Amino acid sequence: MNGGRAMRGRSTILAAALGALLLSGCGSAGPAGPDRPDGAPLPTLLTAGPEVRPATGSAAEQAARVAAAWPGSAAQQAWEHGYYPVDASAEWLPADAFHSGTDKAAYLNGHLELRTALPVSVSGLSEVRFADGSTLALPQRSAQDVLDDLTHHGACSGDCGARLTVTAVRPGTAEVTTSRGRATIATWEFTIEGYAAPFRYPAVRPQQPPPATVPTWSGDGIATGLRSVSADGLVLTAGVPFGCATPDPGTVYETDLAVVLIGHATPRRLGPHEACATALYSVPVEFRLARPLGTRVVLGLADGRPQIPLTALVRPQ
């Protein structure tokens, strides 16, 4: 999928609401750039080796507490009966997006001109229909809300005079994978002049994160934030925050119901005129599992909350 941009407007509110789901405890890392303020380059992806690295030490004990607290918890009940998408995109762009750099600049800058009436829901609710036939009615994300997300933006970049024209907005549907299997959700389809296929957006937001299952903890391991799951389910990529340290390969604690990822980092030896950066940065690290993730849940080390892959919440760049 080409195009897209970081969530803005109300999409930013969604990211904030689900922040605890993505990054727990020490995982609340600051922004990452090409280099740290101290001049040291940021490390690249740490690739998982051919073997699983099992957890040890106090971090493993914490992971065991997290996994043991999950069965029967309020968090598990919410996870298994609520709407928590694990692969739903913040947008589905047409295959030919974008026709030109000018069109892309207009989209990224939020320069959309509305030449149609926006549909209005009478109930203000949107239905999520799961594969087992069960349904869940949640507050609807209106077409106006979507338009606000698209047009509320920061400083203009690129061709600031470029514009796209919205000629129609209609309801539609899309299938997504959730914590309780496949589900069909409502979408809003925006027809943009010059594009045969519509630009589609979810008409419902994920629910608030389930509660923590254990008291917040910190120890010899580092809490991570899940980013993605490999197609075969054997490798999880998670962001590992670090400050004045060098990230190391992570370790894994697994049960039949849950997986807990533990990040590690080695403190850097500083020279006489060096100082640690005050900000935390995050590097992607691969964690290899003993068997595919399947229906198991990934739980945060620090608080035991289930984690949604970051790619399910953020528009692709």
What is the domain-level CATH number for residue 141? 2.40.128
| pLDDT attached to residue 27 | 33
Contact between residue 177 and residue 86 where contact means Cβ atoms under 8 Å apart: yes
Number of domains, the chain = 2
Instruction: Answer yes or no: is 9 within a domain.
Output: no
Mean residue pLDDT across the chain: 82
- Co-location of 230 and 303 in the same domain: yes
Q: Is 57 helix (H, G, I), strand (E, B) or coil?
A: helix
- Co-location of 72 and 219 in the same domain: yes
Contact between residue 59 and residue 248 where contact means Cβ atoms under 8 Å apart: no
**Segments forming the whole domain that contains residue 227:** 24-82+210-312
Instruction: Answer yes or no: is 15 within a domain.
Output: no
| pLDDT attached to residue 3 | 42
| pLDDT attached to residue 171 | 96
Percentage, residues of the chain above pLDDT 70:
82
Instruction: Answer yes or no: is 187 within a domain.
Output: yes
- Co-location of 110 and 197 in the same domain: yes
Q: What is this structure's pTM? A: 0.70
> What is the per-residue pLDDT across 45-75, written as a single tens digit (0 to 9) for each?
888 878 888 887 889 999 999 999 999 999 9
| pLDDT attached to residue 142 | 95
Choose one of 182, 202, 222: the last residue of a domain: 202
Choose one of 142, 167, 202: the last residue of a domain: 202
Say how far apart CA 258 and CA 164 lie, in whole Å: 46
Identify any residues that bridge with 261 across adjacent strands, giving them in sequence order. 252
- Co-location of 150 and 289 in the same domain: no
| pLDDT attached to residue 94 | 95
- DSSP state, residue 140: B
- Co-location of 196 and 214 in the same domain: no
Neighbours of 105 (CB within 10 A): 20
- Co-location of 78 and 124 in the same domain: no
Instruction: Answer yes or no: is 94 within a domain.
Output: no
- E strand map for 214-276: 225-229, 235-242, 245-254, 258-267
- Co-location of 78 and 112 in the same domain: no
- Co-location of 128 and 266 in the same domain: no
Instruction: Answer yes or no: is 147 within a domain.
Output: yes
Contact between residue 202 and residue 80 where contact means Cβ atoms under 8 Å apart: no
| pLDDT attached to residue 88 | 67
Contact between residue 76 and residue 315 where contact means Cβ atoms under 8 Å apart: no
Q: Is 202 helix (H, G, I), strand (E, B) or coil?
A: strand
- Co-location of 179 and 216 in the same domain: no
- Co-location of 191 and 232 in the same domain: no
Say how far apart CA 294 and CA 233 lie, in whole Å: 7
Task: State the amino acid at position 119 in one-letter form.
Answer: P
- Co-location of 106 and 198 in the same domain: yes
Say how far apart CA 283 and CA 43 lie, in whole Å: 7
- Co-location of 138 and 186 in the same domain: yes
Say which residue the tokens 């509660």 belong to: 211
Instruction: Answer yes or no: is 17 within a domain.
Output: no
Instruction: Answer yes or no: is 3 within a domain.
Output: no
| pLDDT attached to residue 315 | 44
Instruction: Answer yes or no: is 8 within a domain.
Output: no
φ/ψ of residue 73, rounded to 5: -80, 165
Task: State the amino acid at position 235 in one-letter form.
Answer: V
- Please identify every stretch of the chain with a pLDDT value under 50, giving residue numbers as ranges: 1-38, 315-317
Choose one of 202, 221, 250: the last residue of a domain: 202
| pLDDT attached to residue 35 | 41
